[in-house]
Structure 1
Amino acid sequence: MEKANKVSVWIGKFTDGDDLTDYIENTYDENGDSSNQFRDDTGIDWFDDDFREADMLQPDLSLRENLVGFSWIDSFADVLIHQLEAMRSADDNGLILLYNFQYLSAESVRPASHVRFVGTFVFRK
């Protein structure tokens, strides 16, 4: 659900950047209705694409270095890194962030999905 100054984060495994993009990009049917695999996997009905960021993690960089390009990251990097270090597996290589969004249904992520919910964090602009 939309929530100001909250960012919800997922981590997952993708073959490459194109795979990550395909996972989060909307497709439209003949009626103009949109869907994407990320929404299907997480049970999210809708989110504003303008507040979505995603990127591949580079294995030769630290988590902190990988986060540099994300918006407002300085305001929540420490807690995000702590959480990622606690749950990240060796093959996790992609992050998805939804800003101004509080994910309330962590149990809704399908077990076979590309992603796992990391958490919702407060950010400051």
Structure 2
Amino acid sequence: MNNPGAVSIWLGNCSSKDSLKCYVEITFDDNGSRIPSRFMKDFSIDFIDYNQDLLECTYILHATTSLSQLLKNASYSEAIINELVEFYGDELSEEYNVAIRLYDFEYEEIVKESILEGKKLSFIGSVMYEE
């Protein structure tokens, strides 16, 4: 659901930046109607709540357990990292090389995890990046 100042975050692993782009990309049919991305379908997110302009993805070549490393180039990274580290600590229990962020959106955790290239992609939570 729309929530200005909130960012919802998913972590996972995939083989390439192109694979990640294909996973989150909205396409169009022959009539010009939008076709939801696989990400939207997997997590039951509809166009009413979704603004692709507010979607940001990070892909790093070598997976890490460090939240700071994974999110260091995100918009509002300092606020997001501080919020997440307070809850999870800086080191995660698993290694990830993908972070998907949807700004001004608070996901209601309809679906907790999905599969991307045979590996899990998990919703880890929503935090406030600005008041």
1:75 pairs with 2:76: no
Unaligned runs of 5+ in 2: none
Aligned residues: 122
TM-score (norm 2): 0.79
Alignment of 1:1-125 (within 5 A): 1-34=1-34, 35-46=36-47, 47-59=50-62, 62-81=66-85, 82-83=87-88, 88-90=93-95, 92-104=96-108, 106-109=109-112, 112-114=114-116, 115-124=121-130
CA distance in 2, matches of 1:112, 1:72: 26
Tell me the alpha carbon deviations over residues 34-66 of structure 1, each in whole angstroms, 9 at most, x when there is no partner: 221100100000211111100113437743133
Retained in 1: the 8 A contact 2:23–2:37?
yes
TM-score (norm 1): 0.82
Retained in 1: the 8 A contact 2:114–2:122?
no
Alignment RMSD (CA, Å): 2.4
More strand by share: 2
Identity, in percent, stands at 26
More helix by share: 1
Greater relative CO, 1 or 2 (CA 8 Å, sep 6+): 1
Retained in 2: the 8 A contact 1:10–1:119?
yes
